A and B are shown apart, each in its own frame.
Chain A
Amino acid sequence: MISRPLLFLLICLPTIGQELSFNRDVLPILSDTCFACHGPDSATREADLRLDLEADAKAPRDGLPAIVPHHPEKSELIDRILHEDPEEMMPPSDFRRRLTPAEKEILQKWIAQGAKWEKHWAFVKPATPALPKTSDPLWAKNPIDHFILQTLDHENLSPSPQAAPEKILRRVALDLNGIPPTPAEVADFLVDDQPQAYERAVARLLASPRYGETMALPWLEAARFADTDGYQYDGPRFMWRWRDWVIEAYNSNKPFEQFTIEQLAGDLLPNATLDQKIATGFNRNHRYNSEAGLVVEEFLLENAVDRVDTTSTVWLGLTMGCARCHDHKYDPLSQKNYYEMIAFFNNIPEFGRAVKAGNSEPYIVAPTKPQQAQLADLDAKVAAAKATLKSLKKPGWREQLTLAEKTALVTHQLSYQHPPEVLHFDGKSSSNIPGTPLSDKKKAPGRFDSLSPVDRYSLSLWIKPHDLTSGTIVSRQSNGRLTPGFNLQLNDGHLRFNIITNWIAGVAMVETKEKISVNEWTHLTLTFHGQLRATNQHIFINGKEASLKIIHNTNSNTGSAKKGSPLRLGGYQDDYYHGDLRDLRVYRRPINTREILTLSGDAQAELQTAFLEQGPGSKAHPKLLAAEEKREQFLRTLPTTMVMQENATEKKTFIRKRGLYNDYGEKVSRNVPEILPPLPESFPRNRLGLARWLVSPDHPLTARVTVNRYWQKYFGTGLVKTSEDFGVQGEKPSHPELLDWLATEFIRSGWDVKHLQRLIVTSATYRQQSNLNPQLLEADPHNRFLARGPRQRLPAHVIRDQALAVSGLLVEKIGGSSVNPYQPKNLWIEMSMGQKYKQSKGPDLFRRSLYTIWKRTVNPPSMALLDAADREACWVGTKRTNTPLQALTLLNETAFVESARKLAERTLRENPTDPITHAFKIVTLRAPEPQEKEILTSALSTYLESFKNDPKSAAALSSIGESPVPKDLDPIQLAAFTTLANLLLNLDEVITKE
């Protein structure tokens, strides 16, 4: 068998006498053989010679120019590559790559022809090529086919006949909807003799919501979407609202231009909508480490690196990551270029350590449409309660108030109030308030139970410090200043509010920018909105919110003060408070501004509060509190999703020498690589500008890279085989003009994604039959010329979805959180840190595979075995292997066995007279040939015989899976037919798109 690259070289090799092309014939040789030492990377450059630059290569170099056009004999390059002395020869004898005689000849000839340079094809803006003349213009159904036929003509190949209608319908349904058609749909299609029947079938498939789900999957793999963080602990995260967005974007045919802008920079659009913000989750799907010992600076860099690498692979088809540590070896991308790109993606308010379980900052509450309606309803109830209270404020209400004791105000969810006397702390001692329960009831919450790193609470107190240098004023911790829990400290007049889960790896520490005064009574309120985050901690000084500096925000687990720990006043042996303290209160909720002002003694606020709590509002106020509480409780059940945001001030970016986070080089600012068109002056220099630049019609890469991935989806291989690399080391396009035609057509159509899919699947090229024969196998084993239709094993998720669909088990519901289908027991616990897999029950066992929970460090095994991408990093290629473990999966995995049984049940009921033909038709969409029917019939009788002799086995087989065992079917017959269905679901034809 001829290997693919070899074949390709043979195709591309120019015939003698032909004009050589720099890009096609010369650059690949120079790049792979010379650039490592004579290319863009300045650090490894030898002899100060660059062969990637024309001027450098042709420079006089003291009488020894590397290249003298038209004169190979005067060119040092030729002299050296022909040298036999190991000291002189190039590439050097210890280099991994040798030049072949043919390559040496090409270089000589090219110089003899004038050594003409060209810019690398992919960096030149595509022009719309004219349609080529071909041997059979009538064969073409659309422009694609002219380009394909031109190559076939050149290769003396001819197109294959059109695929049979049932084959083409199955192929296109699997490609566009990820699920095969039903026999009834095929039957309808077969009798439709109206023109454009196929086109109408395509239109139906494009309009189906399954289309969005199907298109989403490769995008999830490219976007490294997963349900866990990926590193070490690999805790859960929740990004399904982003997945919903992707499905909806494809279904509503959002133009790729908008699709790009919203995902890269939706947050920066004017008046960004919730959906546009959700879209930016694209660049938060990367792995994120929560490991206790990590150095946050290192992971702030890794996060930005992943964003740049993913964005450049997906949109530019460039391996920018190579320039992280040094200038790119092959492509004209410097290390500086790389960090200029980093500068677009490192300015987000994140803290470098992920929370162990849940979403990490920045994230937003992202209600679904129905939840948004519910929320609006709850908002309206709060507003109504407020309006009622307002209406009760009749003129003169202030005067009518008869105030009770001031201390009785602000009592809602007050869990502790210290007796009114002033406490004196001499800087040498402290006192404890025991954490006893508020009530005698068993299981009643303790007074201070809510003071945890996840719950909401507030504290209010007056202090009069005699010494501002240090001192822990109030705390609740396990056993000392640095142990889990919370504390409030003085630090040189500033106030520090610390929440510690695990010193020093897990600390949220905020400090007021202002200082308080010595020997003066100051009122303080701390409020905490929970969820482990320093950004949820607030300090109010005399009723006014203080501006805070976040010193640490690394809490990632829920470590808290030991149960029953007291509230401690006055600090610790190594950090006593010196001063007075009074009127300490603890609340089980963050109190609001009015309440804070009331407690700080603001007269106006006090009146307002008295009105609500003791005056005419006192009956209506609890209703407002209840409505607010209900809304709050609902808010806390809403899904959140991680998003991109920008820091108010732009973070400085430096080149990191050797790519190391702590090895700073030159300072750089946001820019795009100079090899590509410049970022227009009118574009903002941020992610939004970058996104608009990527989809500007002049961009040479975005459209080509994108249409190439679409092509790959249908034909198994892109027109550029290396769909992740369009650089000089990438493979040249098999059909460069077709690639450019598709790219320019994509732009011309307004980046219409469905239009592109339609073009491809309605082409005559796509509609050919996929049969091979010895001649075709010899001439084009990997079908790069496309003298036949695509034939490939289906992707992992399609194989499973198909089995569920044909058996009737599939539960179709668009979107929502991830589900946990069958998985062998203990797989997670054997490898993870205490995480157990909780298998779903009922319908969630049978959802489409794109909703299957994806734990990055322990992938869903049946998907992984069938070559699904691991989601650790961006993946845009295809992997398709053929292994014994795949056979075992498809034969034995629970979902496949249960699907076989349900297919058997269905068939036996729907067609009891000829179930074999019926089942065969359901899975292959054609009738069995007599020989096939014969084999299946004899097989079935063997299986029947086997189960007749062993009825227990029949019962055992039928009880696999959660769906109930039917009572109306003969168990022996069911088991035998299940075995047959298991065989059918393993037919090569069934697990293959052909």
Chain B
Amino acid sequence: MNQHSFSRRHFLEKGTHGLGSAALASLLAQTALGESAQSPKPKAKRVIYLFQSGGPSQIDLFDHKPQLAKFHGKDVPESIFNGQRKTGMTAGQTAFPVARSTFNFKQAGQSGQSLNADLLPHLSGIADEISVIRSMHTEAINHDPAITFFQTGFQLAGRPSIGSWLSYGLGSENANLPAFVAMTSNRSGQALYDRLWGSGFLPSKHQGVRFRSGKNPVLYLNNPDGISSDLRRSTLDHLAELNRIHHQEFYDPEIETRIAQYEMAFRMQMSVPELTDVSDEPESTFKLYGEDAREPGTYAHNALMARRLSERGVRFVQLFHRGWDTHGGLVKQLGQRCKETDQASAALVTDLKQRGLLDDTLVIWGGEFGRTVYSQGNLTEKSFGRDHHPRCFSMWLAGGGIKQGQSIGRTDDYSYNIVKDPVSVHDLHATILHLLGIDHERLTYKFQGRHYRLTDVHGRIIKDLLG
């Protein structure tokens, strides 16, 4: 029996038993993935994923179709639909009138990225830093399966989320903070679910920890009223003493682990308030991110927190901003969302760059699907809406080893079908893992007799995206 090779395999599949995550990480990067497969050299060490929940409209933000002015109000030709399914909300509509975008687009930066100049002025300002994918597509057509697919690589509940895969694969760089942190903003809009940052069948220690706004950013972080930090320190010392006595009798390594976990809990109590207290930020920070960033619970504040977490080595930070589901009253709703997010998203990229963090931090912006070219409900001069559209939509990425200032993929004149370089959700996942130095086909976990992967049995690396 070749014990060495077996142990290696075991670590890949079962995570750490006694070995630290760092050891696992080195295994992954060097030999553990098998002699034959060259493990990719990591370009990024960490990820900030700015998830825009509800499905931002690609036609109105990134995928400019000036020719739609000609078709405005006319039905989308059947040749464009080509028998593809529609959601239950518009499948029964008698007409599918084209709704052109009412916004102004401009070529931004040296690279000339075409972006919505009305709603995305700040993003336009960093156009040369980002790479826009205009040819994303997904299999799901409704929010729950679609966002679950994006987060876990599968439409139904039960699989680990991207961040938990990374925690499992790479561990944490900071012993006092979780490897995976999720934050939410905007209390209205589509629902979010524990499973979006859950660990599925992976050990639960890999699940994302949700940081909340307010004085208790991590659930149960604060001591009960009346227990001071000194008193807590003292009780933990007594607790450890008693547990150590018990360990002498029972000799169970779990007891030692427990003592260590209580210590780490105490360190988290010390480090998290320091982390979440943004009062030490200079005025320039709030100029950059906007005044909203002072207000816990806003997207801008979360974006600033994302930078602070990344600085401290948190592997995967994910923001979820709700309210992009523009079935009706699109112009107003989209304007509102962009007002909340544009400045802070761009600020985050700029801030990371200024701090020298952008090179090894991958920033991703996008939702779970796009929106239809046709109007949902009546199309009037003042108001219209767009239904869910899985066939094509746009995302952008920055930093972390991607090629900047470029566009990937193209859609047809109606922003309905992809005509060049389609990118699937699995492809995006494979590429994220690749940038972090992980071969997506080799990061597996055995459950129910199967070696599961984030990318299931799919996924190609988006070569054009790599710098």
Which residues on A are within 8 Å of B, measured CB to CB? 1, 3-6, 9-10, 13, 93-94, 96, 98, 100-102, 230-234, 287, 289, 291-296, 302, 319, 321-322, 329-331, 353, 503-505, 554, 662, 722, 724-725, 727-730, 770-774, 776-777, 781, 791, 793, 824, 826, 829-834, 856-859, 861-862, 864-865, 867, 870, 872-873, 879, 881-889, 891-893, 897, 929, 931-932, 935-936, 939, 942-943, 946, 950, 953-960, 975, 979, 982-983, 986-989, 992, 994
Contact = CB atoms under 8 A, between A and B. Distances in A.
Contacts of B156: 302, 873
Interface string B235-263: 10011011101110111111101110110
Given A232-B142, A233-B191, A6 B7 contact: yes
A497 B247 CA distance: 72
Contacts of A856: 193
A230 B189 CA distance: 17
Contacts of A942: 234
Counting chain B CB atoms within 10 Å of each CB, which of A3, A554, A887, A936 scores highest?
A: A887
B5 to A, nearest CB: 6
B203 A504 contact: no
B441 A96 contact: yes
B224 A100 contact: no
25 contacts: A9-B1, A96-B451, A102-B2, A232-B190, A291-B144, A292-B87, A294-B87, A302-B156, A319-B449, A729-B448, A771-B249, A830-B192, A831-B192, A831-B193, A833-B191, A870-B194, A881-B205, A882-B254, A885-B209, A936-B242, A946-B231, A954-B226, A957-B225, A986-B262, A988-B258
B222 interface: yes
B15 to A, nearest CB: 10
Nearest to A293: B87
B235 A939 contact: yes
Contacts of B225: 953, 956-957, 959-960
Contacts of A857: 191-195
Contacts, number: 287
B193 A505 contact: no
Contacts of A101: 2
Given A9-B6, A729-B449, A888-B265, A955 B194 contact: no
Contact of B238 (A864, A872, A936, A975): A936
B382 interface: no
B88 A292 contact: yes
Contacts of A232: 142-144, 190-191
Interface stretch (B21-29, B65-73, B213-221, B430-438): B213-221
Given A292-B88, A872-B157, 7 more contacts: A6-B3, A102-B2, A319-B448, A793-B254, A830-B187, A832-B191, A960-B225
Contact of A988 (B243, B268, B269): B243
B419 interface: no
Interface residues of B, number: 94
Contacts of B198: 870
Given A881-B204, A987-B239, A946 B219 contact: no
B265 A884 contact: yes
Given A289-B144, A293-B141, A771-B249, A881 B203 contact: yes
Contacts of B209: 885
A979 B231 contact: yes
Contact of B246 (A93, A295, A987): A987
A873 B158 contact: yes
A935 B451 contact: no
B239 A771 contact: no
Nearest to B258: A988
Contact of A329 (B222, B442, B450): B450
A105 B193 CA distance: 49
B250 A994 contact: yes
B224 to A, nearest CB: 5
Contacts of A730: 449
B188 interface: yes
B88 A96 contact: no
Interface in B23-74: 34, 36-37
Contact of B157 (A230, A296, A830, A982): A230
Contacts of B92: 503-504
A872 B241 CA distance: 40
Nearest to A898: B224
B262 A887 contact: yes
B280 interface: no
Given A96-B34, A957-B224, A831 B191 contact: yes
Contacts of A862: 220
B85 interface: yes
B18 interface: yes
A746 to B, nearest CB: 24
A488 B198 CA distance: 48
B86 to A, nearest CB: 9
A554 B387 CA distance: 19
B228 interface: yes
B246 A989 contact: yes
Contact of A950 (B228, B254, B450): B228
B229 to A, nearest CB: 11
Interface string B119-139: 000000000000000000000
Interface string B179-217: 000001001111111110010000111000100100010
A858 B265 contact: no
A879 B203 contact: yes
A729 B444 CA distance: 15
A772 B252 contact: yes
B227 interface: yes
B142 A722 contact: no
A771 B450 contact: no
B402 to A, nearest CB: 26
Q: Which 3 A-B pairs have the closest CB atoms?
A: A729-B449, A957-B226, A504-B92
Nearest to B93: A504
B17 interface: yes
A882 to B, nearest CB: 5
Give the interface centre of A503, A824, A830 by most chain B CB atoms within 10 Å: A830
A9 B255 CA distance: 27
B322 to A, nearest CB: 9
B257 A865 contact: no
Given A3-B14, A857-B194, A98 B5 contact: yes
A953 B228 contact: yes
Contact of B261 (A287, A774, A882): A882
A634 to B, nearest CB: 35
B276 to A, nearest CB: 15
B388 interface: yes
B264 interface: yes
B338 to A, nearest CB: 22
Contacts of B193: 234, 831, 856-858
Contact of A13 (B1, B192, B230, B259): B1
B191 A771 contact: no
Contact of A931 (B5, B245, B250): B245
A20 to B, nearest CB: 14
Nearest to B202: A879
Given A793-B254, A986-B239, A505 B449 contact: no
B88 A554 contact: yes
A293 B2 contact: no
A445 B7 CA distance: 74
Nearest to B451: A96
A861 B1 contact: no
Count chain B CB atoms within 10 A of each CB in A773, A776, A826 and give the residue with the most: A826
B89 interface: yes
Nearest to B239: A983
Contacts of A353: 88
Chain A CB within 10 Å, residue with most, of B14, B222, B257, B265: B265
Contacts of A725: 448-449
A120 B6 CA distance: 24
A289 B145 CA distance: 10
B91 interface: yes
Contacts of A872: 157-158, 195
